[in-house]
C-alpha cells in the first residue's frame, strides 16, 4: 500500500509540472513508448514514474520527489534533462538542468536498463547507468 501511495503522490507531482509547462505556452506533446510508461522500483526503494507526456519523477520510499525530469524516447533511445536540481553540487545541478543526456534503453521482462550514449553531466551519467529498475505491478481496481 505504501508503494501505491508513493506512485500516486509522484504522479500528482508530475501532472502539476506538466500542467504548469502547458500553461506557460510550452505545448509540446510527447508520448512515451508503452514499455517506458509506468512506475519502476529500485532495490534501494526509489520509485521512478515515467509519465506518458514525457515527465519522469523519481521519489524515495516515502513518496518525496527527489528529482523531476523531462525525457523523450524513440527507437530505443532516450534523453533526459532535469527540471528540478538534483541533490548535487551547484555545477553538477546546473549541467543536469541545462544539458541533455542521451542513452539507449532496454526493457526485458519488466527490468529496465540504460546504456550511456553521451551525457556531458557525469553525475547524471553515473546515476542513470547504474539504475536497476523493475516494473511495479499495480493492483486491479476493487470491484464496486
- 2-135, what's its fold? Lipocalin (2.40.128)
Q: Is residue 136 a contact partner of residue 41, using CB atoms and an 8 Å limit? A: yes
Domain boundary assignment for the chain: 2-135
* Structure confidence at residue 18 (pLDDT): 47
Q: What's this model's pTM, rounded to 2 decimal places? A: 0.74
Please write the tens of the pLDDT for every residue from 19-56: 444 445 454 555 788 888 999 999 999 999 999 999 99
Q: Is 62 exposed, middle or buried (0-12, 13-18, 19+ CB in 10 A)?
A: exposed
* Structure confidence at residue 17 (pLDDT): 47
Contacts with 82 (C-beta within 8 Å, 6 or more apart), sequence order: 67, 68, 69, 70, 93, 96, 97, 124
* Structure confidence at residue 15 (pLDDT): 46
Burial letters 109-138, b for 16+ CB under 10 A, else e: eeebebeeeebebebbbebbeebebeebee
* pLDDT in 10s for each residue of the chain, 144 residues: 455 444 444 444 444 444 444 445 454 555 788 888 999 999 999 999 999 999 999 999 888 888 999 999 999 999 999 998 877 788 989 999 999 999 999 999 999 999 999 999 999 999 999 999 999 987 777 777
Amino acid at each position: 500500500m505504501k508503494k501505491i501511495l508513493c506512485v500516486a503522490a509522484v504522479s500528482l507531482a508530475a501532472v502539476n509540472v506538466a500542467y504548469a509547462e502547458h500553461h506557460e505556452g510550452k505545448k509540446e506533446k510527447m508520448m512515451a513508448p508503452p514499455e517506458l510508461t509506468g512506475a519502476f522500483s529500485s532495490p534501494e526503494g526509489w520509485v521512478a514514474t515515467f509519465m506518458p507526456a514525457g515527465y519522469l519523477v523519481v521519489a524515495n520510499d516515502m513518496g518525496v520527489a527527489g528529482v523531476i525530469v523531462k525525457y523523450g524516447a524513440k527507437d530505443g533511445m532516450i534523453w533526459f534533462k532535469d527540471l528540478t536540481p538534483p541533490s548535487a553540487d551547484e555545477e553538477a545541478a546546473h549541467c543536469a538542468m541545462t544539458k541533455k543526456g542521451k542513452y539507449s534503453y532496454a526493457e526485458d521482462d519488466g527490468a529496465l536498463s540504460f546504456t550511456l550514449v553521451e551525457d556531458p553531466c557525469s553525475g547524471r551519467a553515473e546515476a542513470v547507468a547504474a539504475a536497476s529498475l523493475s516494473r511495479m505491478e499495480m493492483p486491479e481496481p476493487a470491484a464496486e
